[in-house]
Structure 1
Amino acid sequence: MAAARPIRRSPDESIRMFEADWMEALSKIPFWVPMALYLPLFAWMTWTAFAGGITVLGWIAAFAGGLAIWTATEYFLHRFLFHWTPPGKIGERIHFIWHGVHHDHPNDRLRLVMPPSVSLPLAYGFYSLFALAFTGPALFAVFGGFIIGYVIYDTLHYALHHHAWQQPLFKKLKVHHMQHHFVNGTTGYGVSSPLWDWIMGTRRVVAKG
Structure 2
Amino acid sequence: MVSKHFTVDLSKPIVSRSEAYVGHLGEAYEKWVHQPIVSKDGPRFFANDFCELLTRTKWWVIPLVWLPVVCWLVFVSIQRGLTPTEAASAVIGGIFIWTLLEYCLHRFLFHIKTRSYLGNTLHYLLHGCHHKHPLDGLRLVFPPAATAILCVPVWTMFKLLSTPSTAPALFGGGLLGYVIYDCTHYYLHHGKPSKGYGHILKRYHLNHHFKSQNKGFGITSSIWDHVFGTFPAPKVGATKVGDS
What is the root-mean-square deviation in Å for CA atoms of aligned residues? Answer: 2.0
Aligned to 2:38: 11
Aligned to 2:60: 32
Distance 1:100 1:3 in 2: 17
SS at match of 1:114: coil
Question: Normalised by the size of structure 1, how large is the TM-score?
Answer: 0.92
Going from structure 1 to structure 2, the CA distance change for 1:138 and 1:102 (only over 3 Å counts) comes to: same
Distance 1:198 1:205 in 2: 11
How far 1:167 moved relative to its partner? Answer: 4.2
Q: After TM superposition, what 4+ stretches of structure 1 lie above 4 angstroms from structure 2? A: 1-4, 6-9
SS at match of 2:137: coil
Deviations 1:161-189 (A, max 9, x none): 00112340001111110010011100110
- Indicate yes or no: 2:50 matched with 1:22: yes
- Indicate yes or no: 2:214 matched with 1:186: yes
Aligned residues: 208
Q: Which has the larger radius of gyration?
A: 2
**1:6-155 correspondence to structure 2 within 5 Å:** 9-12=36-39, 13-155=41-183
Match 1:174 to one of 177, 189, 202 = 202
Question: Normalised by the size of structure 2, how large is the TM-score?
Answer: 0.79
Deviations 1:103-135 (A, max 9, x none): 000010100000122101111221122112222
The 8 Å contact of residues 4 and 19 in structure 1, kept in 2 or not, is answered as no
Identity of aligned residues (%): 36
Distance 1:4 1:157 in 2: 27
- Stretches of structure 1 that go unaligned for 5 or more consecutive residues are none
- Stretches of structure 2 that go unaligned for 5 or more consecutive residues are 1-16, 23-31, 238-244
